[in-house]
Amino acid sequence: MATQTAAQKRAQAKAQYDAFLAACPSRQLLDRISNKWVTLILCALGGDGGSMRYSELSRQLAGVSQKMLTQTLRSLERDGLITRTVTPTVPVTVCYELTELGLSLRQMMRGVKSWAEIHMDDVLDNRASYDTGTA
Amino acid sequence: MATQTAAQKRAQAKAQYDAFLAACPSRQLLDRISNKWVTLILCALGGDGGSMRYSELSRQLAGVSQKMLTQTLRSLERDGLITRTVTPTVPVTVCYELTELGLSLRQMMRGVKSWAEIHMDDVLDNRASYDTGTA
DNA sequence: CAGAATCCTTCACGATACTG
DNA sequence: CAGTATCGTGAAGGATTCTG
């Protein structure tokens, strides 16, 4: 059977992909996930119950357009980082949730988001120094 | 003296910034660092001796244009994540190195880059399933 | 070697309007 | 509520040329 194909492939994967190479698929993947909205969506999901509706996400990610939100969610769903669940109520209810895979990436993303918040003032100071020529 | 201004501000910073808010400076910072080239540059620096020349970076980050490389390096320098050292040899020698601040972010970035490489096949499988409609 | 400056294309993204 | 579809623009980013 081929039920372990993915596992087998993954066993070799660790040495196979290299994002430093332009043609490597992992370069494109890195490009997709190195994105403001991806970071924020992954951080938002798993916040409380681990499941959020479209409108909740829209509210939490202040300033995101429907287009960007939908587009990013689709991309994440396609890559298997989140699941989309439609409940046929009236009106319809859609919930997004992290998969195991998405959860594993969320750890890093939380780190990146926190880094930005924690070191904001350091960066601001550095910019001020750089701009005024202060060594 | 104002030598501890930065430290004082940082003491409050942890609760002050929130990247979920559109107007928060940390949102812009998150946008800047959530970037393919930023990730790759930070990963490249600190690789060996911790210092790299412009041409070395250019070679390592396959496919990067001079414009993007220079632009990203300037941005990182301005934010205090890397230092730029010019040695007036003939021809001139320029070395880039991570600062403490840059080093702290590099940890996350290495994680993100590794994640992309390690989970590439998982993502590829998920995409195939999504595209063919295979549940 | 390590850029700066210019031009030019494309596409990311927002705004708007419509649907089940 | 949770989208899809269309349009328009501004800016990101590549290619090219020039310089200390």
Residue A43 clears pLDDT 80, i.e. is over it: yes
CB contact under 8 A, B80 and A125: yes
**Does residue B37 belong to any structural domain of this protein?**
yes
pLDDT for res B67: 97
Nearest CB to B22; choose among A30, A63, A127: A63
Return the higher-pLDDT residue of A9 and B20: B20
Question: Is residue B114 included in any domain, yes or no?
Answer: yes
First to last CA, chain B: 65
Instruction: Scan residues 79-108 of chain A and list those with Cβ within 7 Å of strand C.
Output: 91-92
DSSP A23: T
Residues A76, A40, B57, B44, CA torsion sign: negative
Contact A117 B17 (CB under 8 A): yes
Confidence of residue A10 (pLDDT cuts 50, 70, 90): low
Query: Which residues of chain B carry a pLDDT beneath 70?
Result: 1-15, 135
Say what the pLDDT of residue A49 is.
Answer: 77
B68 touches strand C (CB under 7 A): no
Per-residue pLDDT band for A14 (boundaries 50, 70, 90) equals: low
Q: Residue B51 is inside which H or E element, if any?
A: strand B51-53
Which residue of A20, A61, A121 is in closest CB contact with B20?
A61
What is the average pLDDT value for chain A, to the nearest integer? Answer: 91
Count how many domains chain B has: 1
Inside any domain, residue B54: yes
Q: Which domain holds residue B98?
A: 21-134
> What is the structure's pLDDT at B10?
54
Task: Quote the CA–CA distance of A111 and B134 in Å, as a whole number.
Answer: 34
Rounded Cα gap, residues B29 and B75, in angstroms: 11
Q: What is the CATH classification number for the domain harbouring A107?
A: 1.10.10.10
| Residues within 8 A of A (CB atoms), B 2-31 only | 6, 9-10, 13-14, 16-22, 25-27, 29-31
A26 domain-assigned:
yes
Taking CA atoms, A28 is separated from A9, A11, A21, B24, B53, in Å, by 19, 21, 10, 29, 25
Q: Containing H/E element for B98?
A: strand B93-98
Whether B3 maps to a domain, the answer reads no
Chain A CB contacts of B109 below 8 Å: 112
pLDDT in tens, A56-114: 999 999 999 999 999 999 999 999 999 999 999 999 999 999 999 999 999 999 999 99
Instruction: Give domain status of residue B43, yes or no.
Output: yes
Q: Is there a domain that residue B57 lies in?
A: yes
Residue B6 lies in a domain: no
Residue type, A114: S
- Residue-level pLDDT at B76: 98
- Whether nucleic acid strand C comes within 7 Å of the CB of B74, the answer is yes
